[in-house]
Amino acid sequence: MPATKSNFQSANSVPRQMMQSVLARTLKVFPFLSEPLCQVGDLAGYAQWRRAVLPKGRLFLQRERLWEAVLPHLRKSDDLFVFEFGVAWASLPTFG
């Protein structure tokens, strides 16, 4: 029977598969790298979500404006992860 070409195209190209293989072997040898790389993956997922949901080119200087922009999209998803970076007012250092 002749081989037929599949219409399915894998998202994993050969270079990507090689990179994943090297990374998996490296993490087996150096397991302490796993946690930082997991955090990087979480942040990358957040960056993808942010590009998909938030208006392009918009910088939010106040968290209230950010939440006003995000709230309409929250109802469309079951899972939501939010990273809020900043300093709490009570934790501000005083110099004097």
Q: Which residue has the higher pLDDT, 8 or 25?
A: 25
What integer pLDDT is reported at residue 94 of this predicted model? 58
For the chain, the helix, strand and coil percentages under 3-state DSSP, each to the nearest 5:
55, 0, 45
Positive or negative torsion for Cα 72, 73, 78, 79: negative
What integer pLDDT is reported at residue 87 of this predicted model? 59
pLDDT (tens digit, 9 = 90+) per residue, 14-47?
888 888 899 899 999 999 999 998 999 898 998 8
Q: In the numeric block, which tokens belong to residue 90?
A: 């009570």
What integer pLDDT is reported at residue 13 of this predicted model? 80
